[in-house]
Amino acid sequence: MAAGIDDITIYIPRLYIDAADFAKARGLDPEKLQKGLGVSQMAIVDTNQDPACLAANACLQIMQKNKLSPEDIGRLYVSTESSFDESKAMNSYVIGMLEQVYGQGAFEHCGGVETKFACVSGSYALYDNTNWIRAGEAEGKHALVVVSDIAKYDMGSSGEMTQGAGAVVMLLNDEPRLLAFDPKVTATSIKDEYDFYRPFGKETPIVHGQYSNLLYMIQVRKALEIYKKKALASGLMKLEPGETILDHMDYLNMHLPYSNMGKKALAYLVRHEWRQLPRWKKIIQEMGIPEPVPKDPRGTIESVLGDEEFMAKDHEFTKLFTKTREFQEVYEAKLASSLIASKMIGNLYTASLYLGFRSCLEFEYQKGIDLNGKRIGFGSYGSGSSAMVFSGTIQPQYEEIVKNMNLEAELAPRRKLTLQEYEILHENKLSPEESMLHTKREFVLVDVNTTVESRGERRYIFNE
């Protein structure tokens, strides 16, 4: 049975901070920030928004767009690492909000949970619900998988320049118009790590940036190796001499904590995949320098990062490699379009991979490319740490969905924050009723109870 994504919708907060303004205020070079990280704007939530209402707004949009009733939805999963309750699942908050529009009890039949594994949890939720459909358990109903997050870092930290917020919702069924997942090839890699984590009671994460970046690439590479074995064993792909598995993917969507991390991850994977092929010898000859090797090739991540001579040489080698014609062809053809939205919105944690997918569809379609039958590979990563690699093919009916995508129009009503306004919001100095924008026909947070007996209870309304 086919199963996959029938439609996809995004909800982005309407406040943002300009990266150039932010860089100047923090004494950074705006050009270096934009070139080095690929950040132009960062979406910021208002005082009356949290990950639950971002998710609910995305769900309402996709249901109204597809004229769906609650009876059409069999499952609703929310994946997030911005959860504000250690027991009550976020999908119950979302259902509560949706029932303000569709009626009390309208979603009582709808199963689901909140999933957490840093940025990879949305991919696990997709996999779970895809298999629910394949098993025939859906009985004609759809699943909603929502990835919703607020990427927030300590003020003054290096991570502060990679913030963002938003939600992406995907409608899954057994007759997907957009993308059908390839069966029996999904691959995972998991390891106990402390590269990025958020202890109980802390609003912002503890981050080991260089360690996490390298771990991300290693874990995705390991998952890609498992994917390769499954894809070849199942007959999904057949490699001819001199080919790599990446040659059989028309597009690659990578996890994007910032847009340029996608380019780094692609370069890492391509180097690994091409290293044993004839084309690699030719590239090395053209570059004129050998590929550097760490002093301890089988050492730990710590030993690699501590090898300063290797790190400097590898950084220079990567810069030169990404400028080669061979890499640029792969980058422009398979990845570049997926990075455009991230530059305009910022880091969405669980939602960043799927914002990239949405971006890829829109901007490749705008090039006039026929996407029917194109295979998209996904490289998903979550700190802590786990990676997932999977793929799917674009379906013949894709144009019904993609032709109406217009990211600029969806973001047009945004308001640019001053640095002072941003810092006030960042430090939670305003209550929900002191919001900077007053939106209509959206779910908003109106109160968080502070009494002892009901501490933490949240109340939302649908603004008419």
- Report the distance separating Cα 51 and Cα 152, nearest Å: 12
CB 339 within 8 A of CB 256: yes
DSSP labels, 245-257: GGGG-SEEEE--S
Please report the pLDDT score of residue 81 as a whole number.
97
pLDDT of res. 222: 98
Find where tokens 């730990």 sit: 300
**Comparing C-alpha atoms, which of 219, 75, 66 is closest to residue 133?**
75
How do the pLDDT tens digits run along the chain, 464 residues long? 799 999 999 999 999 999 999 888 888 888 877 888 999 999 999 999 999 999 999 999 999 999 999 999 999 999 999 999 999 999 999 999 999 999 999 999 999 999 999 999 999 999 999 999 999 999 999 999 999 999 999 999 989 999 999 999 999 999 999 999 999 999 999 999 999 999 999 999 999 999 999 999 999 999 999 999 999 999 999 999 999 999 999 999 999 999 999 999 999 999 999 999 999 999 999 999 999 999 988 889 999 999 999 999 999 999 999 999 999 999 999 999 999 999 999 999 999 999 999 999 999 999 999 999 999 999 999 999 999 999 999 999 999 999 999 999 999 889 999 999 999 999 999 999 999 999 999 999 999 999 999 999 999 999 98
d(CA 116, CA 129): 15
Nearest to 142 by CA among 115, 164, 168, 110: 110
In this structure, what DSSP letter does residue 117 have? B
Question: Is the CB of residue 19 less than 8 Å from the CB of residue 41?
Answer: yes
Interacting residues of 172 by C-beta distance below 8 A, sequence separation 6+:
3, 4, 5, 6, 126, 129, 130, 133, 142, 143, 144, 145
